[in-house]
Amino acid sequence: MSHPAPNASATAAVRSPCRFIRPGLSSLLALATLPLALLHSAPASACAACGCTLSKDWLGPQAGSVSGWSLGLAYDYINQNESRTGTRKLSLAQADALLNPPANSGHETEVQTATRATTVQVDYNTDSWGVSVQLPIVDRWHTTWQAGLADPGSYNYNQFTALGDIKVLGSLTVTDDGRFGVVGGLKFASGSTTRAFDGPPGGRIDPALQPGSGSTDLIAGAWYGDMVGNWGWFGQGTLQHAVSAMHGYSPGDALLVNAGLRYGSMIERITPLLQLNYVHRDRDSGDLVNVNYDGSPLTGGNLLYLAPGVSARLGDGFSAYAYLQLPIYQNVAGVQLVARYIASLGVRKNF
């Protein structure tokens, strides 16, 4: 796919997609799929909380899959093409002016990061515990002005399709009624961290834009779900923390808090869904992390999404879902790229 160079007068784009966890788990009467983060998928030089943050157990913890094996396929589209500082939107020219003041020019201004993430998920569940393995394949297009808009010749781009960081998660139902449970696991440093720009002037892309973060992360959280008549609801919280990282870069801690609501019987074929997704992302650290000319961070922030969706039971053990995440609050440190929406689709087969 070819992408034309951006026009300097165009409105700003999105800062690289953060690798915010997007994992999940499935188990009977337990939270099936639990995404955290990057994830996000990886940012350029900064990303407060980019990526899909949904709970992929789209029917809620109280309506998990049957015991045994299941195979899932999820697709997330994240087009970060809007610049922002704090809670304020910026045009590309305004973002460049903040990053390249007259006395400190020559810094990069990011234009767009479009990520298409496909995740293959294999689960095994019993009535009280479950294990999930997620293998993400990241397709990313990223563009930047390496020396700001004052130097049109510095336009640079990168496109790749590569394996991301693999996650292994476990779920345990704590109470006899199946309403409360805990989750935990690891994200491994399986994705590449050495990708370079395709166009001149070249050079390695920023660590948060790589297919992998280069870190091993610990993931821990808990959930609670219940039914009131035909209404089902759940709440969950997860924390992701890097316990080891490559030299010069360590992703900031990511806290995700999700609440979900659905209406209708679990045996109905079509179920309307609604989620509220909150993400807090600490700033990244290390010598390779991009900062503004004055040393201020270009990572970290708080985001809140409202996500309407729908699920469908397709028969023969198949089920599917679709969500559209819409940001209702975005507050980022420095100048970062954010997405106007995140689209998520998925299908699962229970065996």
Question: H-helix or E-strand containing 93?
Answer: helix 92-99
Residue 266 has pLDDT above 60, yes or no: no
Please give the Cα distance from 307 to 324 (Å, whole number). 5
What's the pLDDT tens digit per position in 101-144? 988 888 889 999 999 999 999 999 888 899 999 999 999 999 99
Residue 47 has pLDDT above 70, yes or no: no
Instruction: Supply 309's token pair.
Output: 């969706």
What's the pLDDT tens digit per position in 169-223? 999 999 988 889 999 999 999 999 889 888 776 778 888 888 999 999 999 999 9
Residue 305 has pLDDT above 70, yes or no: yes
Q: What residue ranges define each of the domains in the chain, with the CATH number in brackets?
A: 19-350 (2.40.128.130)
Please give the Cα distance from 232 to 262 (Å, whole number). 5
Instruction: Supply 190's token pair.
Output: 């399986």
Residue 57 has pLDDT above 70, yes or no: no
Residue 288 has pLDDT above 60, yes or no: yes
Please give the Cα distance from 150 to 8 (Å, whole number). 9
Residue 19 has pLDDT above 60, yes or no: no
Residue 11 has pLDDT above 70, yes or no: no
pLDDT at residue 58 in the model? 54
Please give the Cα distance from 212 to 67 (Å, whole number). 32
Please give the Cα distance from 39 to 32 (Å, whole number). 18
pLDDT band at 56 (very low <50, low <70, confident <90, very high): low
Which residue type, as a one-letter code, is found at position 276? L
Q: pTM (2 decimals)?
A: 0.83
Average of pLDDT values for 141-164? 89
